Amino acid sequence: MICALVAAAAVQSGCGVSASGVSSNGGDPSAYPLVSGPASIEHHAVTAADGSVSYRPAPPTTYETQPTPTCQRAIVQTGTGSAELAIPPTPGLRAVALSPHETRVTWWFDEIPDDCRPSLLLVSVVANEDPGATPMTLRLPFSGRSGSTVIRYGDFTDPADVALISATLANGLRSGVVSVLIRQS
């Protein structure tokens, strides 16, 4: 799934896009698979102890995802029309609870061509079924084809049960966001 709003905002602000739709670092996005815009996200009702109802994204159903094989391309709207732009590959992801409020999140990529090399990873955990919970997100500089980090989630909420990741270019264009269930140890 592509975060089209982020991509569109980056394009509209002039971040790294020429009129031809070629990324600012000279890559030709037409060489990469085209991904569609954001899919409709399924939500479900979560009822709090006080009876109030909120709607949360449906939790993922898997403990691991595989990365996309290479860069991808997305069609984004610009101030003058649309452009096809290279976006980073979507990382593979898995997560394991080390304790009720600490999670090790591990990611990896298959191939990372220079014209879509991320500069930043957004790595999050969240107690998806807790109506008052918000994600704990780390902004990590990209440092290679694989890595891991430990995220501490607040004691004031339920333990995190979902991990998420996406990769971001320096110009703000973003890969798809993937999520997995956190394996409880």
CA dihedral of 48, 50, 53, 57, whole degrees rounded to 10: -20
Domain ranges of the chain: 4-181
Taking only the tens place, the pLDDT of each residue in 111-166 is: 899 989 999 999 999 998 887 788 999 999 999 999 999 999 988 889 999 999 99
What is the C-alpha to C-alpha distance for residues 181 and 62, in angstroms, rounded to an integer? 6
What is the C-alpha to C-alpha distance for residues 103 and 96, in angstroms, rounded to an integer? 6
Top-level CATH class of 4-181? mainly beta
How long a stretch of residues is the chain? 185
Geometric angle at alpha carbon 185, from 130 and 91, rounded to 5°: 75
Taking only the tens place, the pLDDT of each residue in 7-58 is: 333 333 333 333 333 333 345 667 788 787 555 567 778 787 888 887 878 8
Structural tokens at position 60: 């993922």
Confidence category of residue 72, pLDDT binned at 50, 70, 90? very high
